[in-house]
Amino acid sequence: MIVTVTPNTALDVTYTVDELRPGAVHRAREVRHRAGGKGVNVARVLHALGVDVRAVVTAGGATGTAVAADLAAAGLAADVVPIAGETRRTTTILGSGGATLLNEPGPELGSAEWTALAAAVARSRPEVLVCSGSLPPGAPADAYGRLLASCPSGSGPPATWLSILDTSGPALLTGLAGKPTVVKPNIEELREVTGLEDPVAAATELRRAGAGAVVVSLGAEGLLAVTPAGTWQATPSTALTGNSTGAGDAVVAALALGLSRREPWPELLRRAVALSGAAVLGPLAGDVDLAHYHRERELVAVRAQPERES
């Protein structure tokens, strides 16, 4: 089973407007609410593909109740860890110019609440563990590193544990202590934590620091993967416009599925680029256009990059 953990769960609120104009009054054509947070979005994508997945989330207050109800209505298997604080809300405004996001920081987690979250992850015994999104206030600075280092997958030895870390900043750097199988920063996040402009050199630094492989989101240019088996760049067949807010989460979903099936990297990257494009065409984060996904998997170009001297 693939298990996603979202310590900083949210209720996503999406407003659709004709055009976003700063300082102006807008009338929304549509308003939609759903459970969110990066790990929840990953779980939604996997659920749409018919994959066995479980989401571990936090929920508190009336907003948390709405999150739990939405997960149940969507048919997503979930372990909901109660917290004292009110679950945060994130706001996305979709207009002709793209998506504008407003993300609240989230409620503070006490030590007992974090322990309960970690226990729920351990009970799930994932084959692949996905740690996604920001850490809430009050979480240990090395929270993801602890989860990745202590959560066994299935009944096998530690060498068989598979994991993906998708976060940024200090949470990414401290999470490397947990030896994630894959980390998935975007190009800006990668530059931020390494200070290096060259993405291959920067990804190599993260591998030296503990990551097994690094998959970098390059936006419209696709994905770069620096792995023990080699370096590849995967490029979509065409540029797409739409809602890009869930594209990175779709990449993580594809990586988790590919890892669980032990797919070779070129095939795994084709799946990830195709599913990312399918998410751009979806109306909300966590939605995917499955017809596009199945077509695009045959069209994604994957090129091996030359080896570099260390």
Does residue 287 have an active-site annotation? no
Q: So what's the pLDDT on residue 155?
A: 42
Query: Does the predicted model carry a pTM greater than 0.95?
Result: no
- Report CA dihedral (22, 25, 26, 32) to the nearest 10 degrees: 90
Q: So what's the pLDDT on residue 150?
A: 73
Q: What angle do CA 242, 45, 303 make, to 5 degrees?
A: 70
Q: Which of 166, 249, 287, 289 is catalytic?
A: 249
Sequential pLDDT tens for the chain (310 residues): 999 999 999 999 989 999 888 888 999 999 999 999 999 999 999 999 999 999 999 999 999 999 999 999 999 999 999 999 999 999 989 887 778 889 888 999 999 999 999 999 989 889 999 999 999 988 888 999 999 987 554 444 444 579 999 999 999 999 999 999 999 999 999 999 999 999 999 999 999 999 999 999 998 899 999 999 999 999 999 988 887 889 999 999 999 999 999 999 999 999 999 999 999 999 888 999 999 999 999 999 999 988 775 5
Domains of the chain by start residue, with CATH: 1-135 (3.40.1190.20)
